[in-house]
Amino acid sequence: MATILVTGGAGYIGSHTRYFLQKQGHSVIVVDNLSRGHREMVPDGILREIDTRDTARLTDLMKRERVDAVIHFAAYIAVGESTKVPELYFANNVSGSLGLFDAMLAAGVNKLVFSSTAAAYGIPQRVPIAETEPITPINPYGESKVMVEKILEWLDRYREFRSVCLRYFNACGAEPEAGLGELHDPETHLIPLILKAVMTGKPVTLFGDDYPTDDGTCIRDYIHVSDLAEAHIFAVEDLLNGGTSDVFNVGTASGHSVKEVVTAVERVTGKKVPFTIGPRREGDPPSLVADSQKLQSKLGWKPKRADLDRIVSDAWEFALRNMNQNEQLAYGRRQKADT
Ligand SMILES: NC(=O)c1ccc[n+]([C@@H]2O[C@H](COP(=O)([O-])OP(=O)(O)OC[C@H]3O[C@@H](n4cnc5c(N)ncnc54)[C@H](O)[C@@H]3O)[C@@H](O)[C@H]2O)c1
């Protein structure tokens, strides 16, 4: 079993991956600056509050803990925000990655799994999208990830630094039994937004119903976060066993429209989803579905939780538990104020 450093492990996908790595028997250290993550998503004792740009502290940590490999999630992830403050995305996502890679080189750690994104493909020419599709990001977020992929190609060639880039499609779902789920602030992802509308009665805006799809709404490939987490374990174990650098899509190869997701939420929750239709968002392609054949054939990974109702029901259970927890915290604060 190996010692694996997980950056961004207090965030959504990182916390699930940490959970599955530990289940598999690996020893895990989480590095997160908590800028967008949650302390309570990390078990006691394994969180190190460090920014990935702090090369000196990371080098020291990796040497001391004898880290074997790194899984690098830490980044800012909001496409809309990246179009307003692109410099923030290059500073955090690109400089943050370089700070980490410098530390890895200094500490003699040369195995990395990197969180990349379907946003690397921009508006694809062919769907399902294979890894060979042209890389043409259309926003600073996607570009920041492509820049890191490029850096990794050069490090592979000249520094014997082995990496696997995983280009995720739409991560969703939760692992409610483990207390883990999606908690972005602000939330921009469809399923938690629809669930919030169900809980609050305030309508969610669906962007565009005049796309060239069967029901007019966009089609996306929804990948359960636990399947995604397991893909990282296949990737890191392959590197630890001497595997070479590579790039893989991670998706289910089947798409669901926004309206299909609404219907699934109504089926699972037994409640009507209040929604309004807004204009199309700039740069939203009609359909983004992964061809994940390469990951399945080369590393043997398969999605096990691809059923949309399963995804929605896990996310719903987490949202309900989280709402209860928030109510309990608020109740505790009121009690404290009263005494
Ligand atoms: N959520 C998705 O659907 C999706 C899709 C494609 C790719 N990704 C990629 O997956 C990764 C994880 O996404 P997520 O949804 O879990 O995001 P998240 O915001 O929940 O988690 C990111 C974590 O990184 C931490 N972080 C950010 N910058 C840091 C820094 N400089 N130093 C230390 N910690 C830092 C944050 O505090 C947070 O805990 C990201 O790299 C994202 O680009 C996500």
Query: What is the reported pTM?
Result: 0.95
Is the pLDDT confidence value at 196 over 70? Answer: yes
CA distances from 91 to 96, 225, 328 (A): 7, 27, 38
Number of domains in the chain: 1
CA of 210 to the centre of ligand 1 (A): 31
Q: 332 lies in a domain? A: no
Q: 337 lies in a domain? A: no
The β-bridge partners of 111 are 162
Active site residue 141: yes
d(CA 97, CA 323): 34
Q: 139 lies in a domain? A: yes
Give one word for 108, left, alpha or beta, with left for phi > 0 and alpha for psi -120 to 50: left
Q: 333 lies in a domain? A: no
Q: 335 lies in a domain? A: no
Q: 336 lies in a domain? A: no
Q: Which of 8-12, 163-167, 272-276, 322-326 has the lowest mean pLDDT?
A: 322-326
Taking only the tens place, the pLDDT of each residue in 206-253 is 999 999 999 999 999 999 999 999 999 999 999 999 999 999 999 999
Q: 178 lies in a domain? A: yes
Taking only the tens place, the pLDDT of each residue in 279-318 is 998 888 999 999 999 999 999 999 999 999 999 999 999 9
Residue 273 lies in domain: 3-324
CA distances from 242 to 68, 98, 287 (A): 12, 23, 36
CATH code where residue 224 lies: 3.40.50.720
d(CA 309, CA 256): 11
Q: 143 lies in a domain? A: yes
Is the pLDDT confidence value at 330 over 60? Answer: no
pLDDT at position 110: 98
Asked whether 181 lines ligand 1 (CB < 6 A), one says no
Selected catalytic residue, list 141, 168, 211, 222: 141
